[in-house]
Amino acid sequence: MIEGYAGRESVTAGEELALHVSTDATAFRVRFYRLGRELELLAESGPYPGVLKAPPPHPGGIEGSASPSEDWDFPEYRVPIPADWRPGIHLAQLVEEGTAEPVPRLGDGDIEGFAREFFVVRPARPGSYGRILYKKSTYTRHAYNRGDNEGIPRDASLYDNPVYGTGGDGLPRGHRLSLRRAGGVIDLAWWDAPFIAWLERSGYAVEYCTDLDLHRDPGLLAPYDLLLSVGHDEYWSTAMRDHTDAFLRSGGHVAFLSANTCWWRVHPVEDDTAFVSDTDHHVDGVFPHLPATDLWWAPPPDGVGRPENAMTGVSFRNGGMWPGDWPGDRPLVGYRVQHAGHWVFEGTGLRDGSDGGPADFLGAGTPLIGYECDGAAFAYDERGVARATGADGTPGSFLILGLYELDPVNEDVTTMKWGHWNCPVREPERTGPRAATMGVHTVPGGGTVFTAGTTDWPVVCGREEDPGVVRVTRNVLDRLSVRRGVPSAG
């Protein structure tokens, strides 16, 4: 048995990576890979002496469950990262010594699993390799990480046996989660790996960061022209919002190839090794505090009062989620195209029906929409074109380019219905259709925001399952990866 985690998930080339490892083997090694067009083996280090340490038990005494709220405090091993390693997301595979069978090297299809951890390598001179910055959604990864190992379920996350604190002694009220816990890398395998491979196949020079990097460094985004949010990007700190908004006002651009984006606010604590978030996740079958005050969109005192769609253009409260396996049995309809002459659709050949024929659907036949999707409040004009009303805080310049009305819908996500889009509570006056929404808007100051409105955009693009999605992604990256003074979203 072997498992571990990184002390910090981001390291500058030439510095040391702290790995925390527990194993019943007498010794272990670490294999290092870089995610690119393929999984590239870079190096192997060790052997290191093995030490077994159990994770702390759940503070509620739940049998078989580890604590999601405490640092697991595994022994630390420091590994120098060579100065010539390229920027990227890297994978550390933990390999026990003395096993009966040699542990095979990982291949492209072996990223998901246990006894491995990912980390970001950043260049010594930010922006020297590429002007696109890919933000790995690490806070969301930790929220869903159950702390399991092979054959050892621990059921410890923000969703499984969470730990709630009432605050005090400088700590906010809310669910507490440690970032220093072992677990799997399913998010990396599903959303990031295929999209990163596509980026490198397509020749894009990209640098990488974590949520914590964006939280801690007000100047992080200055060397870049485009910030990418990819996949499932649910948990954001106030500083992350502030730094992204400032970047947009200064003329930088953001592409949200993600959904459920910026839904919950987090409060990093204990030197940023944990966070607290007052969410609506139940503890022992009851909700410890409602309303959950770290919901970004809800007005105070019920929430933060800073709607995420003011930044992204869309919100999960106007969308929903399809439960079950990925991609499972969710509808394969795609986005009905609007404004086909827009630069986003250049070269796709897609039609919007304005010529008298039927409108095309971007991504039709693929699981493009879901598993979670975001939308904007909208109304149809006299020509049947969906236009954002702005009544929910979406910017007035937001242009809806693609729409999928969710069907069938369950209006209460807390009572999950299989085979339905399950939708969260929203403002009682919002009675229009729930719809996944793709669009673009311009921020005062010149920054442009493109939003895909769905978690699985990077999967469909990365696997090249739909040529229209691939071309739209190229158009977005090519246009927004260079600052153009004051670009227009129109």
pLDDT band at 488 (very low <50, low <70, confident <90, very high): very low
φ and ψ at residue 58, rounded to 5 degrees:
-65, 130
Q: Is 90 exceeded by the pLDDT of residue 216?
A: yes
Bridge-partner residues for 136, per DSSP?
210
User: How many whole angstroms separate alpha carbon 261 and alpha carbon 256?
Assistant: 8
**Which pLDDT tens digit goes with each residue over 9-20?**
999 999 999 999
Q: CA of 202: how far to CAs of 92, 118, 195, 254, in Å?
A: 25, 23, 10, 19
C-beta separation of 259 from 232 below 8 A:
yes
C-beta separation of 37 from 200 below 8 A:
yes
User: How many whole angstroms separate alpha carbon 272 and alpha carbon 8?
Assistant: 9
**Which pLDDT tens digit goes with each residue over 47-87?**
999 999 999 999 999 998 999 999 999 999 999 999 999 99
Give the range with max mean pLDDT: 161-170, 262-271, 423-432.
Answer: 262-271
Q: Is 90 exceeded by the pLDDT of residue 476?
A: yes
- Tally of CB atoms within 10 A around 109: 9
| Single-letter amino acid code for the residue at 257 | L
Beta strand pairing status for 226-232 and 132-136?
parallel
**pLDDT at res. 412:** 86
pLDDT band at 282 (very low <50, low <70, confident <90, very high): confident
User: How many whole angstroms separate alpha carbon 183 and alpha carbon 147?
Assistant: 4
Q: Which residues contact 168 (CB under 8 A, 6 or more apart)?
A: none
Structure tokens belonging to residue 292: 């959950």
φ and ψ at residue 381, rounded to 5 degrees:
-85, -175
Q: What is the DSSP string of 425-459?
A: ---TT--S--EEEEEEEE-TTS-EEEE--BTTHHH
Q: Specify the range with the lowest mean pLDDT, choosing from 218-222, 288-292, 393-397.
A: 288-292
Strand order from edge to edge, sheet including 2-6? 2-6, 16-23, 76-80
Question: Among candidates 401, 406, 398, 400, which has minimal Cα distance to 424?
Answer: 406
Q: Is 90 exceeded by the pLDDT of residue 382?
A: yes
**Which pLDDT tens digit goes with each residue over 343-354?**
999 999 999 999
User: How many whole angstroms separate alpha carbon 376 and alpha carbon 378?
Assistant: 6
User: How many whole angstroms separate alpha carbon 159 and alpha carbon 175?
Assistant: 10
Give the residue-averaged pLDDT of 185-199: 96
Q: Which residues contact 453 (CB under 8 A, 6 or more apart)?
A: 256, 259, 314, 319, 373, 374, 375, 402, 436, 437, 438, 439
**pLDDT at res. 432:** 84
**pLDDT at res. 101:** 65
**pLDDT at res. 168:** 83
Question: Among candidates 318, 167, 294, 312, which has minimal Cα distance to 229?
Answer: 312
Give the residue-averaged pLDDT of 330-335: 97
**pLDDT at res. 489:** 43
- For the chain, what is the mean pLDDT? 94
Read off the pTM.
0.96
Structure tokens belonging to residue 488: 């227009």
